[in-house]
Amino acid sequence: MSHMFNRPYTVHGKPDSGRVFIALVLSLVVVFVAGITLLVRSDYKRTVNESGDQLAYIAELLEQSVESTLAVANLHMWGMIDQIALAELGTTEEIESRYGDLLRKTVEEIDQINSVVLIAPDGNVIWASVDNLSGRYLGDRQYFREALRLGEGEYAVGVPLIARGSGRRVTPIAWPVVSPYGRVLGVIVSSLGEEYFSDLLTLTEFPPDLHVDIQASNGAAAFHSNEAPRKIGSTIISATREIASLGLTIDVSRSKHAVMSAFYFRTAGFIAVAIILFATAIGMAISLKAKSVQLATGLHRSKEDNYRIVAAQREFNTIFDNVGDGIVIFSEDGTLNRTNKMAREILGAEQNEAAVARLRTLLPEFSDINSDFEVHRIKTDETQPDQAVQCRVMKLTTGDQEIAYCVLTDVTAEERLAAARTNFITSINHELRTPLTSLAGALELMENRYAESLPAPARRLLAMGSRNADRLLLLVNDILTLQAIDQGKFHVDAEPVSVETALEEAISTNSGYGVATGVKLKRIASVSGDVFVDPDRLQQIFSNLISNAIKYSRPEGIVEIGAQETGDEVTFYVRDAGPGIPKAARHRLYERFTTPLHGRGVQMSGTGLGLAITKQLVERQDGQITFETRTEEDGQQDTGTVFYVTFKRPAAPATEKTA
């Protein structure tokens, strides 16, 4: 292989690239070594930092555990103290008789302590749960003197010491026995032993080499978790945390060697794998380089280009033959006849020539076909009278000849669906609207005349039926309105309309919407003059916007309506102080049958068609509808929504406009 790199050669007149390739490989080696070094160094720092963070977390966890468990012990102890502080303590026999069982039960119930010693105010022990302490004088102890100065709910912690009886480290803790009148009757003393701190360590699985030292500010040790000696001169990683309530300091440490052992193992494995992968990649690169040099003179670009052309032709043929619409291409002289599978199925032919011949009998002469798409309705199967096929045909020029490009679409299902839709709307108009109008009127008449004489359950059922009949009638009317818009049968008779008159009529017509919730309509001082609109459609717009504003207004709220002038246009507005429109719903605000914009308890009932119809009413009068909204999710305190509807002032006599 080295012989290959040292032998000069040329391919198609280009200089030997062997030296460049060797330089590139050496550069990759340098980059690889540098990258490995940076990664190992970064992992080393990360491991050290993570270990320090882990030790700090362990120290904090121990500090929180000590304070929380001691708080529980303090509550239990003061519950017991409140029972024995009702009278003078008395002699040892009296205390044993009255409170002995209670004191021993306290030792059993409080896990944090292992003994209880009761000391009189003069410093002598008058009762103890352990032997050999009764009668001893402990009045010279710092924790005893400090406890005498404390009040209810407090405790004093002494300096850790070695217990005389057991020879173990303990941390004294003392509570004053305070009478209901605030007089100190004595001091109860217990201790936090090494078992207490050991039990805290067993609550969580800590590393086996972890060292936990707890000591007072004067250096007195309260607890050592691991007595195993460390190697002389070994480096440690540690973290410190103070237990403020006990005046103790927690020192958590680990040997740096133990911490880094996983890092050393991980690093060795990573470097080994990286070297293997890199060596494999370099070997493959060298092998491919050698093969590419040997094959460079034997490759022919023309074969590759030919392969691409064949592959592209296959892809085109596959796509062309499986398009969902039928496609037919033919020339005037018959030299080109091309169809896809769908076209042959629609035309009932198995071959291209037969399908093209069949279609040409159904289309105009080739010379009469235009260069723009023309749509023809053709009948391809006389045995199916309901079949409808749409053919779009246009003339194209390719090279030196003209061809006809035809797209066939079977629209039978669409036309059946359109007919069914028309029949459905007609049925709604004749079969639903008339009886619903009668039903709603009858229910309303019955409610107005006989509601007071009916029992309360009957009145509720009558009111519910009336509301639902009105909702159904509103839904039917909305559907019929949208149908008229879609079929071009929606008429707008525009004329000059007074702005003030329109606002007054809107107030008068829609003020009843808010009676149930106390919402009022307020007209804001507006501009004068006229706008060029259909007065009935304008009031329909007002009704939709005002009813929505009242629905979402708070009880006893106010909905403002008014108008303002902008150039040669007048903008009407409806403003409410409701919850606003959520961001996720703003893009679908004008969609038909839109899903609820708000959650349960906020969203009011409706058909989901009001704003869709309003937008159509506005736009078909050459107007524009916009809105501004403020919600709590936008960080706004004064929430609400304003809808703006803009129309032009009259510039010409009133004319009838059909959408």
pLDDT mean over 92-113: 84
What's the rounded Cα separation, in Å, for the pair 159 and 577?
66
Q: What kind and span of H or E run contains 629?
A: strand 624-630
Phi/psi at 452 (5° precision): -70, -25
Tokens of 207: 């590393």
11 DSSP 8-state letter: B
Q: Do domains 1-299 and 491-658 have the same CATH topology?
A: no
16 DSSP 8-state letter: P
Radius of gyration of the chain (CA): 47
Q: How confident is the model at residue 654 (pLDDT cuts 50, 70, 90)?
A: very low
What's the rounded Cα separation, in Å, for the pair 199 and 112?
9
Render pLDDT for 549-606 as a digit per residue (tens, 0 to 9).
888 888 889 999 999 988 889 999 999 998 998 888 888 888 876 666 665 555 455 5
**Counting every residue, how long is the chain?**
659
Nearest alpha carbon to residue 406 among 364, 455, 454: 364
Q: Residue 297 above 80 pLDDT?
A: no
Q: How confident is the model at residue 213 (pLDDT cuts 50, 70, 90)?
A: confident
Q: What kind and span of H or E run contains 176?
A: strand 169-178
What phi-psi label fits residue 567: left (phi over 0), alpha (psi between -120 and 50 degrees) or beta? left
> In sequence order, what are the residues at sequence separation of 6 or more whose Cβ sits closer than 8 angstroms to the Cβ of residue 617?
537, 540, 541
CATH fold, domain 1-299, is Beta-Lactamase (3.30.450)
Q: Which of 96-110, 235-249, 331-345, 379-393 has the lowest mean pLDDT?
A: 379-393
Q: What residue ranges in 179-267 does DSSP mark as E strands?
A: 184-193, 211-216, 221-224, 236-243, 248-255
**Distance of CA 621 to CAs 502, 541, 618, Å?**
16, 11, 5
Q: What kind and span of H or E run contains 405?
A: strand 401-410
Q: Residue 16 above 70 pLDDT?
A: no
Q: How many other CB atoms are found less than 10 A from the CB of residue 450?
A: 12
Q: Are strands 211-216 and 495-498 parallel, antiparallel or unpaired?
A: unpaired
What phi-psi label fits residue 266: left (phi over 0), alpha (psi between -120 and 50 degrees) or beta? alpha
Q: Residue 72 above 90 pLDDT?
A: no
On whether the CB atoms of residues 532 and 654 are closer than 8 A, the answer is yes
Architecture of domain 491-658 in this structure: 2-Layer Sandwich (3.30)
Can you give the pLDDT at residue 176?
A: 92
Query: Domains of the chain: which residue ranges?
Result: 1-299, 307-410, 415-485, 491-658
CATH of domain 307-410: 3.30.450.20
Angle 429-434-438 from CA coordinates, rounded to 5°: 155
